Structure 1
Amino acid sequence: MGIKPYLITKSLTPENQETPINFIKGDIVNYKLFYRRNHFSYPNFLTSFYFLPIEGLVRFPKVFSLQEIRVLPSKTVKVILECAGNKRELFNPKVFGEQWGKGAISQGKWKGTPLSALLQYTGLLETAKEIVFEGYDFGERTDTNQQYHFSRSLPLEIALHPDTIIAYEYNDQPIPFKHGYPLRLIVPGWYAMASVKWIKKITVIDHEFTGPFQAIDYVYYPNRDSDIGKIPVTTINLNSTIQKPLNLQVLNTGNHTIEGIAWTGRGKVLKVEISLDGGRTWEAAKIFLSTENYSWVRWIYEWQVTEKGEYMIISKAIDSEGRMQPNEPIWNRKGYGYNAIDKIEVKVE
């Protein structure tokens, strides 16, 4: 049996661990290697008595059992979940927060019932504006010294999208407890803070939700010392990661395959370019386009190197809306949404 990769530990309380993204092959990440992002300790509740209430500005408040949800029409979507803080350690100047490398991202198949199908049973009042999802996970925030459940809202447009699902399976198995069992919201195309785990209740409201994980965290603050210009974190940015070779690896002269992934929360990745001279010139990588709407694409570039020395390898993705990865990230003081061109260095000897 070959040696297998492990999660990369960032913190233990709460548990935050990265996917070993350099060693992930294919499009499906086994749940054992799916990154773990928590704000609090894991919740404690009895799943045998689990019910999901939908309340607030609905015509018919209803409490769904797991059995009721599982017999409703289902949908399976292959979705990237990327922590908004993925690659935070690469920001310069440095920012405070969990110092994620390149592995706070994973992908797999989620099966569940579209939220819109559940809401057909409850209806929505005309005054409805947002839908709030509260998780069972809770704890004290250091900035307020108060306890909160992890809660987030979605605007109706996103919440009612047919691919926004209340998921109960991951890769054809019940969702593992550490990833949200028994029910997890899946919001394709948005950073993963939107995909609330261990859903406790769903509430429809007529105003902008101002919980701390919406109004304080997961907000881009472009200024170090003020909140001027702040905007919410929503859609995943266009991005790419070089998986092979490893950063600072020593190689022999000869033929080498450079490979990686590229992804975006809006549109499609159409092209990945590689530079081997610090960004002066670029060549197209071979890209394996996906028929899925929300999955990453894989790419490879065959590199024949005859001269010894140190090389910088750079990857840059380009999408269907004409966007390309920037040379530098948009700095923000909480370190969200890093998506600058990816760089590694290797030595050939």
Structure 2
Amino acid sequence: MIFPHSSFVKSYLTTRSLQPENQESPIEHIRTDLVHPSLFYRRNHFTYPSFTSAYYWLPIRGLVEKPVCYSVQDLLRLPSRTIKAVLECAGNKRSLFEPKVFGEQWEKGAITQGEWKGVSLRTLLRAAGLKDAAKEVVVEGYDYGERTDTDTVHTYARSLPLDQAMHPDTIVAYEYNSQPIPFKHGYPLRLIVPQWYAMSSVKWIKQIYVIDSAFEGPFQSVDYVYYPYQESDEGAFPVTTMNVNSIIQKPSNMEVLNTGKHTIEGIAWSGEGLIKKVEISIDGGSTWSDAKVIPAENYAWVKWAFDWTVPVKGEYTLMAKATDSGHRMQPSTPFWNRKGYGYNAMEKVKVKVE
């Protein structure tokens, strides 16, 4: 896989924390459809796991007729699928919430896109044979550590409902952009769940098991849950698919421009459909015009652009709002929730024209 030199040179990750390592992509400067591994954002709950890949096996057990255990070489011999997909952290843009919420203060770069190659999870589950009582499929990673809320050690594990686990494009991936998955992003195997927030795309898969009830692990029942109220759990519901969203990549926030012609450009994506329209406002939302949207594959972000001629000096608030095929549109204000997930209010940057 060859990446244009300009797509990553002189661009760097922004560190949000070192223990565990959480770093943000310079998404405003990424112009390629496939994000180079060096600019892939890093999201961890614990320190990186340690294991010997030479002895790596993937067991599938639980409510199956025939428990199986796969080596990576076994998986390479099975029919493969390649999926170009957006991965977005559920906390992306958390720093923009008002009132502020606790948690990693991501700006706009907890997002990436690339091509993932692997085996459909349903291929593996069918080979094992699901029992009638099967309800959810739990995927557990090798990463583990102590949670601050319980002072107990937990491994990172998430479950999928059976219909999502059996979707043909939910894959156990072993390649990213035609290369083995980088260790910091899940080598040797990572689950990829297109259109769901990336907490479901479990890294460093340790085992997969099938259960007959709702999974109650803390990264399922405590974290990655929308809590609409500060002091109450009333009305809580799980984080699943990505909200319709967009980013203005150019111009940058607080950039100084000259009068004349400029191109406003960026990306947009959705977890429940295709982006059909992106609208741009150059006057803080008073009026809107359609941007040119470049169609993309099912799970990929779309690129969009809008030509802007600026005859008058001054300060401008540029805004973008995307609409998907299900008529979901970015709202003017986000759905506030106390853990700060799913921010998708209309995109906004300010510029000065001199």
Please say whether Structure 1 and Structure 2 have the same fold, judged by a TM-score greater than 0.5. yes
Structure-to-structure mapping, 1:8-47, within 5 angstroms: 8-47=14-53
User: Deviation per CA, 1:3-51, whole angstroms, max 9, x where unpaired?
Assistant: 5200111011100001100100121100110000000000000000000
| Matched residue, 2:170 | 164
Correspondences of 1:180-191 after superposition (within 5 Å): 180-191=186-197
Equivalent position to 2:293, from 287, 293, 306: 287
2:71 match: 65
In the aligned structure 2, how far is the partner of 1:324 from the partner of 1:116? 32
Taking the aligned partners of 2:332 and 2:97, their CA distance within structure 1 comes to: 12
Match of 1:269 among 250, 275, 290: 275
Kindly indicate whether residue 151 of structure 2 is the aligned counterpart of residue 145 of structure 1: yes
Aligned equivalents of 2:83, 2:221: Cα separation in 1: 29
Cα distance between partner residues in 1 of 2:325 and 2:32:
23
Query: What CA deviation, in whole Å up to 9, does each residue of 1:41-87 have, x standing for no partner?
Result: 00000000000000000000111111111100000000100000000
Asked if 1:297 corresponds to 2:302, the answer is: yes
Structure 1 partner of 2:90: 84
| Matched position secondary structure for 1:67 | helix
For structure 1, the residue ranges without an aligned partner over 5 or more in a row are none
- 1-structure distance, mates of 2:347, 2:303: 15
Distance of 1:26 and 1:12 partners within structure 2: 27
Letter of the aligned partner of 2:341 in structure 1? Y
Q: Output the CA distance in 1 between the equivalents of 2:240 and 2:68.
A: 29
Task: Give the alignment partner of residue 259 of structure 1, picking from 258, 262, 265.
Answer: 265
State the shift of 1:119 in Å.
1.4
- Whether 2:347 is the aligned partner of 1:342: answer yes
**1:133 counterpart (122, 131, 139):** 139
SS at match of 2:54: helix
Q: Distance in 2 between matches of 1:323 and 1:197?
A: 30
Map of 1:124 onto structure 2? 130
Give the SS at the match of 2:76. helix
SS at match of 1:45: coil
User: What's the secondary structure of 2:240's corresponding residue?
Assistant: coil
Matches of 2:312 and 2:27, distance apart in 1: 29
The whole-number CA distance in structure 2 between the counterparts of 1:271 and 1:256 is 20
Partner AA of 1:231 in structure 2: F
3-state SS of paired residue (1:313): strand
Of 306, 309, 314, the match for 2:314: 309
Q: Deviations over 1:88-114 (max 9, x none)?
A: 000000000000000000000000000
> Deviations for 1:117-155, whole angstroms, at most 9, x for unmatched residues?
111221000000000000000000010000000000000
1:315 is aligned with what amino acid? A
SS in 2 for 1:32: helix
Residue 321 of structure 1 aligns with which residue?
Answer: 326
**Partners of 1:120 and 1:276 in 2: how far apart?**
53
Letter in structure 2 aligned against 1:83: C
Partner residue, 1:331 = 336
**What residue number does 2:203 align with?**
197
Q: Which runs of 5+ in 2 are unaligned?
A: none
Distance in 1, Cα, partners of 2:107 & 2:156:
24
Q: RMSD of the alignment, in Å?
A: 0.8
Q: Deviation digits for residues 220-263 of structure 1, max 9, x if unmatched?
A: 00000000000000000000000000100111111111100000
1:6 aligns with 2:18: no
Structure 1 counterpart of 2:55:
49
One-letter identity of the residue aligned with 1:65: S
Ranges of 4+ aligned residues in structure 1 off by more than 2 Å: none
SS in 2 for 1:107: strand
Amino-acid identity (%): 64
TM-score (norm 1): 0.99
After superposition, where does 1:212-231 map in structure 2 within 5 Å? 212-231=218-237
Cα distance, 1:116 vs structure 2: 0.7
